[in-house]
Amino acid sequence: MNKFNIENLDLYYGDNQALKSINLPIPQKKVTALIGPSGCGKSTLLRCLNRMNDLIAGVKITGKVTMDEHDIYGNIDVSDLRIKVGMVFQKPNPFPMSIYENVAYGLRAQGIKDKKHIDSVVEKSLRGAALWDEVKDRLKSHAFGLSGGQQQRLCIARTIAMQPDVILMDEPTSALDPIATHKIEDLMESLKKEFTIVIVTHSMQQARRISDRTAFFLMGELVEHNDTQTIFNNPQDDRTQGYVNGDFG
């Protein structure tokens, strides 16, 4: 079953076409990796999935993106969409407040006040992000006191707390050391049991290790998409072969 279907999607920043007739299904509760050289449109495509590009002036989009068979560019509540489709960025961006308040933030913004309920969501989310054991004794401490890797897991916990269906991740480990990266990669295995994950990565090893499906982009075009094994071991297109072999990009 597909969570998203992207059909004939074109995206322009002014006169510059950044996505060219993209057709890509994104399966539910799997990890889909978007790979390709810098500037090929990975982040742009990721932002199409929760309409973050709406916030950029001069963007024009044609084509169709459906989520659970509903057109997300049709008449929908965009803030609702952004709750269902959460996002984690390249640089950990915790809010300037305590660990606890970071995770509780979205619930409070929704007007939820029941402390017991918030406590339980905070714990569940921190457990879900494999951070609970490291922070359970210092929930009131400032989030900036955490390491980079812990901050990134806190951002994942903050996203989980909103009970999304989908988590978008744009190079979530590129600012982290190998050990912190490994922890996040391990976390993916458990996250995909519950969420659909779309991740942009520059690391071929990472795409291989954690993704079920891989899509390879070049200059705004989707060259090829398939199960990850096939993309890396038996790609159909020479350009994919060249990229996964490290010949360019």
Ligand X SMILES: Nc1ncnc2c1ncn2[C@@H]1O[C@H](COP(=O)(O)OP(=O)(O)OP(=O)(O)O)[C@@H](O)[C@H]1O
Q: Contact residues for Mg ion (CB under 5 A)?
A: 43
- 209 near 198, Cβ under 8 Å? no
- 44 contacts which partner out of ligand X, Mg ion, none, CB within 5 to 8 A by kind? ligand X
Q: What count of other Cβ atoms lies within 10 Å of the Cβ of residue 193?
A: 7
Scanning residues 14 to 33, which ones bind ligand X (CB under 6 A)?
Answer: 16, 18
- Nearest-angstrom CA–CA distance, 239 and 244: 9
Residue with tokens 């989009």: 61
Nearer of residues 90 and 241 to Mg ion, judged by Cβ: 90
Please pick, from the candidates 40, 160, 184, 210, the single residue that binds ligand X as defined by CB under 6 A: 40
CB of 97 to ligand X, least distance (A): 29
Question: Which CB atom, from 43 or from 181, has the smaller least distance to Mg ion?
Answer: 43
Taking CB within 5 to 8 Å according to partner kind, which of ligand X, Mg ion, none is near residue 196?
none
18 or 122: CB nearest ligand X: 18
**Residue 242: both structure tokens together:** 């060249």
Contact between 38 and ligand X (CB under 6 A)?
Answer: yes
Applying CB under 6 A, the span of 10-18, 111-119, 120-128, 135-143 interacting with ligand X comes to: 10-18
**Which partner, ligand X, Mg ion, none, binds residue 79 by CB below 5 to 8 Å per kind?**
none
For residue 39, state whether it binds ligand X (rule: CB under 6 A). Answer: yes
Q: Binding string, 56-85, against ligand X, x = CB under 6 A? A: x-----------------------------
- What's the token pair of residue 116? 């017991």
Sole binder of ligand X in the list 3, 42, 208, 213 (CB under 6 A): 42
Confirm or reject binding of residue 50 to ligand X (CB under 6 A). no
Closer by beta carbon to ligand X, 97 or else 219? 219
